[in-house]
Structure formats: C-alpha cells, structure tokens
Amino acid sequence: MHTYVLRRMVASVPTLFGVTVLIFVAMRVIPGDPISLITSEGGMNYALSDEEINAVRHSLGFDRPYHEQYLSWIGDVLSGELGRSFWRQEPIRDQILRRAPITAEIGLMAILLSWIIGLPIGILSAVKRNAWPDYVSRVFVIFFVAVPAFWVGLLIVLAEVLIFNWRPSLTIIYLWEDPWRNLQMTLGPAVVLGLGVAALTARMARSATLEVLHEDYVRTARAKGLREKLVIVRHVLRNALLPVVTISGLALGGLLGGSVAVERAFGVPGLGQLLVMGFGERDWMLIQNLVLLYGVVFTIINLLIDLTYALLDPRIGYS
Amino acid sequence: MDIAAADERITWPQKVETKTPRAQGLGRFVRSSPLGTIAAIGLIGLIVVALFADQFAPFDPLVSDYGVSRSPPTVAHPFGADQLGRDTLSRIIHGARVSLFVALVSVLLGDSVGLVWGIASGFLGGRFDLVSQRVLDTLLSFPGLILAMLLLVGLGAGLQTVIIAIAVTRIPLATRVIRSVVLGVRNLAFVEAARGLGSSNLRIMALHILPQCVAPFLVIVSANIGVAITTEAALSFLGIGVPPPTPTWGNMLGGVLAESFKPPWWLVVYPGVFLTATVLAANLFGDAMRDFLDPKLRGVT
C-alpha cells in the first residue's frame, strides 16, 4: 500500500510539470506579450511610447528568454512568492489567501451535500426500481444534470430580491467571524453546486447498485435469510460505492469549474470572482497563478480519489 | 464446372421488398426510446428555428427601441425587453443560433481530433502512446471550464476562439474512450489477417479499426453536445465567451444582476429556460443514442 501511494504521488509530478508548461505557453507565447496587447487596445489611456513599453517590459521581465521567464515563475511559485498583479498593490498571494477560505468552504459544503443527497437517492432508486421512488429520483437526476448551476443561482438571487428585497453580502465574511452572515453568503452557492454533483452521484450510485444486486453473493445473503436491510447495508452498499468513487473525479472537476460561474451569479467574493476579474483587467500574472492553483487542486483531488479507490478495493494497486 | 452452371443451381435468397436499413434503424431507435425521440424532435425544431432566425424573430435582436426599455412581457414583446429596449424573444431565437452552432461545431471538431488521436495512440502504442497519455493527463488536470478560460486568454475572445477552446476541452475524454475501444480490437483476427496480407498501418487503421470506432464516436458526440452548450453559456455568462452585441443565452444572463438591485425577472428567467430545456433535450438524446448504439459505454459518457 505504501509503495502504491508513493508511486501514484510520483506519477503526478510530470502531470504537474505539464500543467505549468501549458499555462505558460497559453499565457506568454500565443498572444505575443501582455503589455503590447494592453497598450494596443487601450487607445488613448494606455498609449505609451516605445521606450516606455520597453521599460515596462523590462521591469516585468518580459524581455528575457522564455525559458528564463518560465524558470523564474516556477521559482516564485515554489517559494510562495506569486508577485503582484498589474493593477493592484496587494500581492497576489494575499489576494488568494484572503478569498480561498470562502471558495474552499463552498466547495466542501457542496461535496458534503452531494453525498448526503445523491447517495441515498441513487440507492433508493435502484432498490425500488420501477416504482415511484425510482421515477421521482430519475426525474431529479435528469433535471439537475442538465440545468446550469449558475442559472439556478441567478434564480435564487432574483427570488431573494423580489420576495425579501435582500441580496447576499458582497464583502468577505469568514465563518469564524460571523457564522450566520457567512452562511447567508455561502449556503446558496453550496446548495446549487451540490445539487448538480448530487445528480451525477445518484445516477452512478443507481447503476452501480443495480449491478451489485444481481451478484451471486447478494442472492446467497438473501437465501441464508438475512434481512433485506442488512443485505443492502452489508453487501450491496460497500461494493456499489466503488464506481461512485471513480466518477467523483469528473464530478468534482465540474464542481470546481462550475464554482467560477456560480460565484459570479451570487456575487460571492471567492477565487472564481478573482479569476473573472483578472480576465476583465487582462491581469496576466493573476490569471496565470490562479489557473495553476485550480490545476494543482484538481490534480490533488484526482490523486486522493485514486488513493481512496485503492484503499476501498484491496485488489488493485499493489503491483 | 463453370461458374455460370454453379450459379444456376444455387437458390439465391430473393431480395425481400422491405424498408431500407436506415429506415429500419430509425424505427428501432423510436421504439427503443420514445423519450429520446421526443428530445431529438425538439432539437431538430430548435435547429430549424435557429437556421431561420431572421424569419422567426419578430424584431431585430440588435436594434434598440428605448420606448420599451425594460418593458415587462406584453403582447408585442411576449418575453419583455431588456435595458436597451431589445426584444427578448428575438434575442433568444438568435441566441439559439450561436449556442447550437458553437456546440455542434466544437463537439465535432474536438471529438474528431479525439477519434484520430485515440486510434493512433491505441493502435501504434509504444512511445507515441506513452507521450500521448501524459499530454492527455495534463489536459485532464484542469476542470473543463478553467481549461477553456485559459485557452481564451491566449486566443482572445470571439466566435472561432470559443469554438476552439471548447473543442480542446472535449479532446481528452474522447481520445481515452476511442483508445480503449481500439485496444480491445487491435489484436483480433481480422486485424491480424490484414497485417498478414501486408496492409500498412495506415490502411489497417483507416479500413479496419476506424469502422469499429464509429458507434462509440457517435455516442461520445451526442453525449458531449449538452456539455458544450453549458460550457459556452457559462463562458458567455462570465463575459469571456462570444462577445456582445451578438446575443447568446449566456451573455444575455451575464450583466443582468449587476445592472440594478432589482433586475427585471423576465431577463433572468426566459433565456435560462431555453438553455436548460435545450441541454435537457441534448442529454436525453445522448442517453438514448448510447443505449441504442453501444450500451457498454454506459457510465463512460
């Protein structure tokens, strides 16, 4: 088991290297460089002389060869020094640290909700196959897989405005400062995102449970007179959970990406809003580091999923 | 004995007058999934409306009429009008054109790359496969929407760039699925036979492997359309997709909440209803296609 954990962790190193290269190429090589783009499109406001442009490029290090720029960026990332954004004085690291707790809180609550809602629905749907609980839960799944989470978010905000004449706070309030007002801000996005992932979880749990229900050991368990509830809990559940774990990587990727749009819909001051802001302001340094953060977090999530899978299923991972 | 004489003695099966195989397939599809059929009819209807948007839309989607600015739904403007007095229904109809065009083209583009790459990677194996897998790992390390955003930074906003960005997000999974299909058939007898007859790798891939991948390819394409529509809507909603004034369902939803404390409800509700209904239909159609063509892929797509 230990060797598997180690091997799997080592295997994600080249992936992370690829992630940094892809980001760097997308940010630097394709569009020429940010300064010329900013000055060329800004017109009057940003019109700089060639000397000024060169001075700015030099101060930001854009006149150095690409491999030097890349290495210095990686060095910055590894030392935790992410530099400054183009327009704001606050270091990028501080901006990220200030907003990360909000996004992380929303994400964790959404995952928790997706399990609490998705697993029972999926299992119930399989056990009561072709009866009304199954139909209800299949409609739930089909609807929430399709409906874009950010639109549900917009509808919730709209309803709050029209009914209560109230909109959630736009400033950062941490859970440990004022739990009640923090939850007013984070609960909506968490529920909206959680329902989408819950639908995917329920769908997978249903088909996995259906498959397990036909296994010989389930028939044996029933034949020896075990109560149906125990059959489900002891024999079916455990084996049905495995496939659910495998798809959770895809589902959580959807959650991570979807959270950007949902944060925007609710106006929550999280990392997603920061990323969108970076786009609006063409703030290359900010985007580059934020996208890397999303990539690293998603890679770690996938790593954890693989390890969980190995932990749950003793058959794999030792070779 | 010559061939003509042999031909005489064999009773060839009479060609039975029947429907063409294609029509039979259609009939089987309708019977196997009534829900998928309804979804397909809905999608075709939407495509027709989108193609003839100029005829169906009662107003020009780009022309402002400040007299009806922020008008709630009326007889003339059944879905109301936006801040600039543009008719919401007309903008939704023209938005359908962008949504469907972007989704269909990007999915076909991305999945075709995945088809070719998956066949090459699975069939050739070796170092090419190894490197391909690492590249795909990298692409899969980003959530789809984030990857599309990253590419749009480099490519700049616009219709073509949005299509390319969404297409790239569709490549990795398509490649993986096709590759696994190829790995399943590459050592079967008919491939061995072709190799024994001296066929080149290219010929084997094109004539013997490719046909095996058609059904999974169609399944992937139909499963991806809903995802592509959602991604385009999210990008446009965030203001980094198809730029205004071109109406898309996503960018119609974009500025609404920021624009005022009490946003007009019809600007939030109607574009989203069309967006959701379309994704719903695309997903139902995708599921039906999967069950019809290749039930083994259940869970993969």
For every residue of B148-184, which 3-state class applies, written as one string?
A: HHHHHHHHCCCHHHHHHHHHHHHHHHHHHHHHHHHHH
Q: pLDDT exceeding 90 applies to what percent of chain B?
A: 48
The residue among B139 and B85 whose pLDDT is bigger is B139
pLDDT above 50 for B87 = yes
Q: Is pLDDT at B184 greater than 60 in this prediction?
A: yes
Is the confidence at residue B241, as pLDDT, over 50?
yes
pLDDT for position B109: 97
Whether residue A260 lies within 8 A of chain B, CB to CB, comes out as yes
Mean pLDDT of chain B: 85
Residue B87 β-bridge partners: B81
What would the mean pLDDT of B147-176 be, rounded to a whole number? 91
Lowest mean pLDDT among B1-10, B38-47, B187-196: B1-10
Find which of A85-94, A118-127, B60-69 is predicted with most confidence, using mean pLDDT: A118-127
Specify the pLDDT at position B81. 80
Give CA–CA dist B26/A193, Å, rounded.
Answer: 37
By mean pLDDT, which of A73-82, A100-109, B292-301 is the weakest?
Answer: B292-301
Q: Do A148 and B268 touch (CB under 8 A)?
A: no
- Residue-level pLDDT at B301: 46
CB contact under 8 A, A279 and B265: no
Q: Chain B contact for A219, CB < 8 A?
A: no
B94-104 burial code (b ≥16 CB/10 A, e <16)? bbbbbbbbbbb
What pLDDT does residue A30 have? 55
- pLDDT higher than 50, residue A43: no
Verify whether the Cβ–Cβ distance B149 to A260 is below 8 Å: yes
Residue B35: list chain A partners with CB under 8 A.
Answer: none
Residues A15, B139: Cα–Cα separation, whole Å: 9
pLDDT at B1: 45
Beta strands in chain A (DSSP E): none
Give A-chain residues touching B145 at CB under 8 angstroms: 257-258, 260-261
Contact A110, A193 (CB under 8 A): yes
Considering only CA atoms, give the Rg of chain A.
Answer: 24
The shares of helix, strand and coil residues in chain B, as percent rounded to the nearest 5, are 75, 0, 25
Q: What is the pLDDT of residue B230?
A: 94
Cβ within 8 Å of B, A 10-69: 14-16, 18-19, 21-23, 25-27, 29-31
| Residue B233 neighbours by CB distance under 10 Å | 32
Q: Supply the pTM of this predicted model.
A: 0.88
Residue pLDDT, tens place only, A74-91: 888 888 877 777 667 788
- Side-chain half-sphere exposure of A243, counting CA atoms within 13 A: 22
Position B84 scores a pLDDT of: 76
pLDDT band with cut points at 50, 70 and 90 for residue A245: confident
CA distance A46 to A35: 10
Q: What are the backbone dihedrals phi and psi of residue B63, each rounded to the nearest 5 degrees, phi first?
A: -90, 130
**Residue A319 confidence (pLDDT):** 45
Q: How far is B146 from chain A (nearest CA, A)?
A: 6
* 8 Å CB contact of A257 and B279: no
The C-alpha of B260 sits at a distance from chain A's nearest C-alpha, in angstroms, of 11
Interface contact flag, B268 A279, Cβ < 8 Å? no
The per-residue pLDDT for A104 is: 92
Which pair of tokens denotes residue A139? 């409609």
| pLDDT attached to residue B29 | 84
The whole-number average pLDDT for the span A20-36 is 72
> Out of B134, B144, B151, whose CB is closest to A26?
B151
The dihedral through the CA atoms of A138, A143, A148, A153 has a sign that is: negative
Instruction: Name the more confident of B78 and A305.
Output: A305
Q: Would you call B299 and A204 a contact, using CB atoms and an 8 Å cutoff?
A: yes
B158/B151 Cα distance (integer angstroms): 12
The per-residue pLDDT for A54 is 75
Q: Return the residue in B92, B99, B134, B142 with the most chain A beta carbons within 10 A, the one to mutate for interface testing.
A: B142
Contacts of B275 in chain A (CB under 8 A): 148, 151
User: Over pLDDT 90: what percentage of chain A?
Assistant: 31
User: What gap in Å lies between CA A158 and CA B265, rounded to an integer?
Assistant: 7
Interface test with A, best of B134, B238, B261 (most A CBs within 10 A): B238
pLDDT in tens, A196-223: 999 999 999 998 898 888 888 888 988 9
**Which of A94-98, B66-70, B169-173 reaches the highest mean pLDDT?**
B169-173
Distance of CA A21 to the CA centre of its chain: 21
Compute the nearest-CA separation of B294 from chain A (Å).
16
pLDDT tops 60 at residue A154:
yes
pLDDT band at A37 (very low <50, low <70, confident <90, very high): low
Cβ distance A150 to B256 less than 8 Å, yes or no, reads no
ipTM of the complex: 0.88
How far apart CA A290 and CA A16 sit, in angstroms, is: 14
pLDDT classification of B119: cutoffs 50, 70, 90: very high
Average pLDDT, chain A: 84
For A309-318, what is the mean pLDDT?
A: 71
A214 class by beta-carbon count within 10 Å (0-12 exposed, 13-18 middle, 19+ buried): exposed
* Residue B70 vs residue A68, higher pLDDT: A68
pLDDT band at B43 (very low <50, low <70, confident <90, very high): very high
Mean pLDDT, to the nearest integer, of B33-41?
Answer: 89
Closest CA–CA distance from residue A27 to any residue of chain B (Å): 6
Distance from CA of A299 to the nearest CA of B (A): 5
